[in-house]
Amino acid sequence: MLNAPWLDGTLQRFEARLERGQTPQALLVHGPAGTGRRHLGLTVAARLLGSDWRPSMDTPAEQLGGVPHPDYWGVGPEEDSRVIKIEQIRDLNQALNLTSHRSGWKVALIYPAEAMTHNAANTLLKTLEEPPEATTLILVTDALTRLPPTIVSRCERVRVSPPSRSVALKWLSHSHDDRAACERALAFATGSPLMARALLGDAQGEGGGKVLAELADEVQRLIDRSVPPTTLAKTWARRDAGVCLRWLYLQTAELLHSQVGTGGERFSGLAHLNIPGVPLNMAACCAYLDQVMEAQRLKDRSLNMEAMFADLLMWWYGAAGATRY
């Protein structure tokens, strides 16, 4: 089990609050993806319930119900869905209004909170306005602006920020002994340790930028027209969408950077793609960056990731033509 030392300070402040009898009724844990927000939320939930259970950093996002306690509820998108439906929040509200099984605290964790539909958020708002006794709601998100202001205003906010570079590298070194690879992955992930670890490979040490290398190789095959976008989209739909979209954004930004010729360092983790020497359409690149950013905003609500990636990858298909659109 891997801990998260950069969360220790936040947990200690929370413990101090509990000792003063200041138990929150609603917490909104937010911050960049890959910083351990969900891990913090689960740890706080276990503490409120008086459970000795401690979450692992490796606990899959789908296992929100991992806290072994009858007064805990984890709510997330159901299988084959990317949204949290109104029926799920109605069921949660009903459960929270029942008597505690162990005559103690009741806790619910909602992740990702921004996945709630408009009706689901409105239904949760009623509970936030009149919360049941001895109950804490924990909402976890990396997209604070996508939550209704009425929800945000009724929660105490806890921001999780990336740790210092030295702390993150030390943590990564527990499972990867290639420091240079760790540094490249951490730079690409803008300091988020969990994203960096995903880029490096699994816990057995497979990697050293393996994911980034695979993305570059696959896009190069698109440029060479040796694979169609629809085929590659099936593979990318099974990858971490956040990593793929960030790679596309930075790789496109690098095209603009090279065209302007301002010099300086390239983005870490990017490939030297072999693109035919045709004039670069800078307006097309800027428009594509906007398209990638919009996909990033909607990725957790997209019902068809394969179609989303097929559309984005078409831009690179025989890039000589794509960059002139």
Q: What is the CATH number for 62?
A: 3.40.50.300
CA distance 251 to 289: 10
The reply to whether 14 and 100 lie within a common domain is yes
Tell me what pLDDT residue 312 has: 94
145 and 21 belong to one structural domain: yes
**Does 320 score more than 70 pLDDT?**
no
Domain match, 272 and 148 both: no
pLDDT at 138: 97
Say if residue 202 is in the same domain as residue 221. Answer: no
pLDDT over threshold 80, residue 166? yes
> Poorest-confidence range of 118-122, 176-180, 234-238, 244-248?
176-180
Q: Between 270 and 298, where is the model more confident?
A: 298
| pLDDT tens-digit readout, 39-80 | 999 999 999 998 887 777 766 555 565 677 899 999 999 877
**Looking at residue 126, what is its pLDDT?**
92
- Last residue of a domain, which of 126, 159, 192? 159
For the chain, what is the domain count? 3
- Quote the pLDDT of residue 63: 53
Q: Are 97 and 232 found together in one domain?
A: no
Could you list the residue range(s) of the whole structural domain that residue 278 is in? 210-322
- Of the pLDDT bands very low, low, confident and very high (cuts 50, 70, 90), residue 278 is low
In three-state secondary structure terms, 107 is: strand
Reported in sequence order, the residue ranges of the chain that DSSP labels E, i.e. its strands, are 26-30, 72-75, 106-110, 135-141, 156-159
To the nearest 10 degrees (0 to 180), the angle between helices 165-172 and 193-200 is: 40
The angle formed by the CA atoms of residues 223, 226 and 231, to the nearest 5 degrees, is 95
Higher pLDDT, 32 or 281: 32
Going by pLDDT thresholds of 50, 70 and 90, the confidence category of residue 207 is very low
Distances (CA, A) of 321 to 137, 272, 278: 51, 18, 9
Residues 11 and 118 in one domain: yes
Same domain, 178 and 200: yes
Check whether residue 9 and residue 148 sit in a common domain.
yes
Between CA 114 and CA 84 the distance in angstroms is 9
Phi and psi for 68 in degrees, rounded to 5? -80, 75
Specify whether 126 is located in the same domain as 233. Answer: no
* Final residue belonging to a domain, choices 126, 144, 159: 159
Claim to verify: residue 11 and residue 148 sit in the same structural domain: yes
Residue-wise pLDDT for 81-105, tens only, equals 888 999 999 999 999 999 888 878 9
Question: Is residue 170 a contact partner of residue 60, using CB atoms and an 8 Å limit?
Answer: no
Per-residue confidence (pLDDT) for residue 202, from 0 to 100: 46
**Same domain flag for 24 and 112:** yes
CATH number at residue 204: 1.10.8
Higher pLDDT, 175 or 316: 316
Mean pLDDT of the chain: 84
Map residue 116 onto helix, strand or coil. Answer: strand
Provide the pLDDT confidence category of residue 151 given band limits of 50, 70 and 90: very high
Using the 3D structure, point to which of 208, 232, 265 is the last residue of a domain.
208
Q: Are residues 192 and 145 in the same domain?
A: no
Residues in the chain: 325
Report pLDDT for 303.
64
